Amino acid sequence: MSGHDTMGSIATSFPELSGSQQHEASNSRPVGAPNLNIGPQPLFDTFEAFENSSASEYAADRPSIVDYIKLFEPTINAHQDYQYVRSFLTSYNGRETTFRSYRTQVERLLLWSWIKCGKSVTSLKRTDAEAFMQFCCQPDPDWIGDAVRQRFLLAEGVYSPNPQWRPFGSLSKKATRKVAAENMVELDTPQYAISAGSTRQVFAICSSFYKFLIEEEVPTGNPFKAIKQKSKWVSKESRKVTPKVLSRLQWDYVIETAELMANQDPKHERSLFILATLFAMYLRVSDIVGIADWKPTMGSFVKLKGTWWYEVTGKGNKEARVSVKDDYLNYLKRYRVSRNLTPLPSPGETTPLLVHLNGKAGLTDRHVRKIVQVIFDQALERMKSEGRDEDEYNELRSASLHWLRHTSATFDAPFREMKHLQADLRHENMSTTQDIYYEALDDERADSNRRLRIRD
């Protein structure tokens, strides 16, 4: 990310808070008194905003952040807390999805600490950490929104906080929202609920934040590490994992729909390529849009000893090589020809893998997700219009991009050795691959043996 924030750059980031205003003590309120008259507002914008601007540029574009911080008593040191969190987020500049997860949880902690406790995050104790975990399970109603909202709105060159944004969201299930939209029915906001996985994420990320502060020699402890009954928040789920997958009928409609869209409008050649690429190689979205230190190019496809591979830098900046299906090459050739390129990549080719329709490189993961969602929606409409039963297409209403990875691996598992599928999925442990994709095969194996006799 741009800016290379340091723990000591607070005056540069917030010149309005420099000098005596940063350090002036106030006796108007006792330390630790809640600020319940102040509502939560967003502090940290998108991954792109962090990546493309320095700390001072970011603050200048969003003067509301400075104004908001001034609302809190100087004894809280809100300005310093803000800089700590910004530095923490900047240290996680690898991928957009990781940034979003860390931003969400630590921003909630920051706002809760200032508003509910009237304290700096560096002053929180074990009991505060436990109270925050409980708050995340049952947040105040005015902290909960009914939709995912843009954090800041641009007007006249300045980014202002979106008044409809809330730190927490309570959304109906995707399929429920789609059915309501199809029938033009308004939905009531569902009761807020947090999953066990999300609870563990809150605990892990907040604990990681304090570990970062300690490593930066900030005088604080780790209140989350001090929690005694950790099992209440970080209990392990069952090993059994049920992946979300499309049926073969649904997948046939999805890929056929993408092909029809591409045949009808050349701009959808990219849509077809994205769909086929994610599916054919069990890829995550970051594998085709890239991360901070790696961007995929056509040169990411390499041919070694007559076999094509896709070279990717994935989770944890680990480099890997994924095998390429022969059948997939037809989609690669089609897309490249649509971009006036040779049918297959040349060694070391630097052409961006994905580009905007105007030819500019740099699609975001959100953009790619929207492209895939359009295909899912069109496939759903085709299934409905062709008279398919609702139970044949209902799950398609819930489908997301990540289902493609699970669907493809599920389809391929009966025909591939487990260790080969594990390698292409880039699972660290064989047990992960087995638990997710080979459990059904175990059932078939048991069934095939159950009725065999020991003697006639």
C-alpha to C-alpha distance for 306 and 448, rounded to whole angstroms = 38
Residues 355/363, Cβ–Cβ less than 8 Å: yes
Mean pLDDT of the chain: 85
Residue type, 30: P
As a three-state string, the secondary structure of 298-359 is HHHEEEECCEEEEEEECHHHCEEEEECCCCHHHHHHHHHHHCCCCCCCCCCCCCECCECCCC
C-alpha to C-alpha distance for 239 and 246, rounded to whole angstroms = 22
The pLDDT confidence band at residue 23, using thresholds 50, 70 and 90, is very low
pLDDT score at 242? 59
Nearest to 51 by CA among 349, 403, 394, 289: 289
Residues 378/390, Cβ–Cβ less than 8 Å: no
The pLDDT confidence band at residue 21, using thresholds 50, 70 and 90, is very low
20 has a pLDDT exceeding 50: no
Question: How confident is the model over 247-273, as pLDDT tens digits?
Answer: 999 999 999 999 999 999 999 999 999
Domain ranges in the chain are: 10-234, 248-448
pLDDT (average), residues 59-66: 92
Tokens 């954090």, residue located: 151
Question: How confident is the model over 269-328, as pLDDT tens digits?
Answer: 999 999 999 999 999 999 999 987 899 999 999 999 999 999 999 766 789 999 999 999
pLDDT score at 94? 62
Residues 280/331, Cβ–Cβ less than 8 Å: yes
Question: How confident is the model over 359-388, as pLDDT tens digits?
Answer: 898 888 889 999 999 999 999 999 999 999
What's the whole-model pTM score? Answer: 0.61
Q: Which has more pLDDT, 59 or 231?
A: 59
Q: State the fold for domain 248-448.
A: hpI Integrase; Chain A (1.10.443)
402 has a pLDDT exceeding 50: yes
Burial of 269-279, coded b for 16+ CB within 10 Å and e otherwise, reads bbbbbbbbbbb
pLDDT score at 321? 96
The pLDDT confidence band at residue 434, using thresholds 50, 70 and 90, is confident
Question: How confident is the model over 418-429, as pLDDT tens digits?
Answer: 899 999 999 888
* Greatest mean pLDDT among 46-50, 103-107, 176-180, 230-234: 103-107
Q: Take residue 276 and report the two structure tokens written for it.
A: 């086929």
C-alpha to C-alpha distance for 63 and 79, rounded to whole angstroms = 13
Tokens 């139970």, residue located: 391
pLDDT score at 381? 94
The pLDDT confidence band at residue 36, using thresholds 50, 70 and 90, is confident
pLDDT (average), residues 230-244: 61
Kindly tell me the burial class for residue 344, based on how many C-beta atoms sit within 10 Å of its own C-beta (0-12, 13-18, 19 or more).
middle
Instruction: Please state, as a whole number, how many other Cβ atoms lie within 10 Å of the Cβ of residue 96.
Output: 22
Strand partners, 310: 301, 322
239 has a pLDDT exceeding 60: no
Residues 433/208, Cβ–Cβ less than 8 Å: no
Q: Cα 305 from chain centroid?
A: 36
Residues 87/213, Cβ–Cβ less than 8 Å: no
C-alpha to C-alpha distance for 186 and 182, rounded to whole angstroms = 11
pLDDT (average), residues 137-143: 92
Nearest to 168 by CA among 209, 199, 124: 199
